[in-house]
Protein backbone atom coordinates (compact mmCIF):
# COMPACT_ATOMS: atom_id res chain seq x y z
CA UNK A 1 0.00 0.00 0.00
CA UNK A 2 1.24 3.46 -0.73
CA UNK A 3 0.81 6.39 1.63
CA UNK A 4 -2.28 7.74 -0.16
CA UNK A 5 -4.12 4.42 0.25
CA UNK A 6 -3.18 4.25 3.92
CA UNK A 7 -4.65 7.71 4.56
CA UNK A 8 -7.98 6.69 3.01
CA UNK A 9 -8.21 3.32 4.77
CA UNK A 10 -11.59 3.31 6.60
CA UNK A 11 -10.50 0.48 8.90
CA UNK A 12 -7.77 2.37 10.73
CA UNK A 13 -8.21 1.49 14.41
CA UNK A 14 -7.01 4.95 15.47
CA UNK A 15 -10.25 6.40 14.08
CA UNK A 16 -12.49 4.33 16.34
CA UNK A 17 -13.75 6.08 19.47
CA UNK A 18 -13.21 2.88 21.47
CA UNK A 19 -9.53 2.85 20.43
CA UNK A 20 -9.14 6.47 21.46
CA UNK A 21 -10.74 5.72 24.83
CA UNK A 22 -8.39 2.76 25.22
CA UNK A 23 -5.43 5.07 24.65
CA UNK A 24 -6.78 7.34 27.39
CA UNK A 25 -7.02 4.34 29.73
CA UNK A 26 -3.46 3.28 28.84
CA UNK A 27 -2.15 6.81 29.47
CA UNK A 28 -3.95 6.87 32.83
CA UNK A 29 -2.47 3.48 33.80
CA UNK A 30 0.99 4.83 32.98
CA UNK A 31 0.41 7.79 35.31
CA UNK A 32 -0.85 5.51 38.08
CA UNK A 33 1.98 3.00 37.74
CA UNK A 34 4.56 5.80 37.83
CA UNK A 35 3.58 6.20 41.49
CA UNK A 36 4.64 2.64 42.37
CA UNK A 37 7.94 2.54 44.29
CA UNK A 38 10.66 0.65 42.47
CA UNK A 39 11.98 -0.99 45.64
CA UNK A 40 8.84 -3.13 46.09
CA UNK A 41 9.24 -6.25 43.95
CA UNK A 42 5.61 -7.37 44.28
CA UNK A 43 4.21 -3.98 43.28
CA UNK A 44 6.61 -3.84 40.34
CA UNK A 45 5.15 -7.14 39.12
CA UNK A 46 1.64 -5.72 39.53
CA UNK A 47 2.77 -2.65 37.59
CA UNK A 48 3.91 -4.84 34.70
CA UNK A 49 0.59 -6.70 34.70
CA UNK A 50 -1.37 -3.45 34.68
CA UNK A 51 0.64 -2.05 31.77
CA UNK A 52 0.35 -5.30 29.81
CA UNK A 53 -3.40 -5.50 30.34
CA UNK A 54 -4.00 -1.86 29.41
CA UNK A 55 -1.92 -2.19 26.22
CA UNK A 56 -3.65 -5.39 25.12
CA UNK A 57 -7.13 -4.08 25.89
CA UNK A 58 -6.90 -1.26 23.37
CA UNK A 59 -5.53 -3.40 20.57
CA UNK A 60 -7.93 -6.30 21.05
CA UNK A 61 -11.07 -4.18 21.25
CA UNK A 62 -10.10 -2.04 18.26
CA UNK A 63 -9.23 -5.14 16.24
CA UNK A 64 -12.55 -6.75 17.06
CA UNK A 65 -14.44 -3.59 16.11
CA UNK A 66 -12.54 -3.36 12.82
CA UNK A 67 -13.38 -6.98 12.03
CA UNK A 68 -17.08 -6.41 12.70
CA UNK A 69 -17.14 -3.31 10.50
CA UNK A 70 -15.29 -5.12 7.73
CA UNK A 71 -17.71 -8.04 7.79
CA UNK A 72 -20.72 -5.74 7.83
CA UNK A 73 -19.35 -3.77 4.90
CA UNK A 74 -18.44 -6.90 2.96
CA UNK A 75 -21.79 -8.62 3.30
CA UNK A 76 -24.07 -5.59 3.22
CA UNK A 77 -22.15 -3.51 0.66
CA UNK A 78 -22.94 -0.46 2.74
CA UNK A 79 -20.51 2.33 3.44
CA UNK A 80 -18.74 2.14 6.77
CA UNK A 81 -20.09 4.48 9.42
CA UNK A 82 -18.34 5.63 12.54
CA UNK A 83 -20.34 6.50 15.62
19-51 pLDDT, tens digit per residue, is 788 889 999 999 999 999 999 999 999 999 999
Query: 7 in a domain, yes or no?
Result: no
Q: Is residue 73's pLDDT more than 60?
A: yes
Query: Full-prediction pTM beyond 0.85?
Result: no
- Does residue 11 lie in a domain region? no
Segments forming the whole domain that contains residue 35: 29-75
Mean local confidence (pLDDT), 40-68 = 86
Is residue 44, in this structure, part of any structural domain at all?
Answer: yes
Q: Has residue 4 been placed in a domain?
A: no
Contacts of 15 (CB under 8 A, 6+ apart): 82
| Between residues 79 and 30, the one the model is more confident about | 30
The residue among 68 and 3 whose pLDDT is bigger is 68
Alpha helices in the chain (DSSP H): 3-7, 17-33, 41-76
For residue 35, being part of any structural domain is answered with yes
Q: Residue 75 CA to chain centroid, in angstroms? A: 25
Q: Is 71 left (phi over 0), alpha (psi -120 to 50) or beta?
A: alpha
Asked, for residue 68, whether it belongs to a domain, the answer is yes
Instruction: Look at residue 46 and tell me if it is in a domain.
Output: yes
Q: Does residue 61 belong to any structural domain of this protein?
A: yes
Which phi and psi (to 5°) does residue 4 adopt?
-65, -40
* Radius of gyration from C-alpha coordinates of the chain: 17
Structural domain total, the chain: 1
Amino acid sequence: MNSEEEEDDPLEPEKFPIFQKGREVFDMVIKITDLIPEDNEYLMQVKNWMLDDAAQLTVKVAGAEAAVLFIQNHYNNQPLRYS
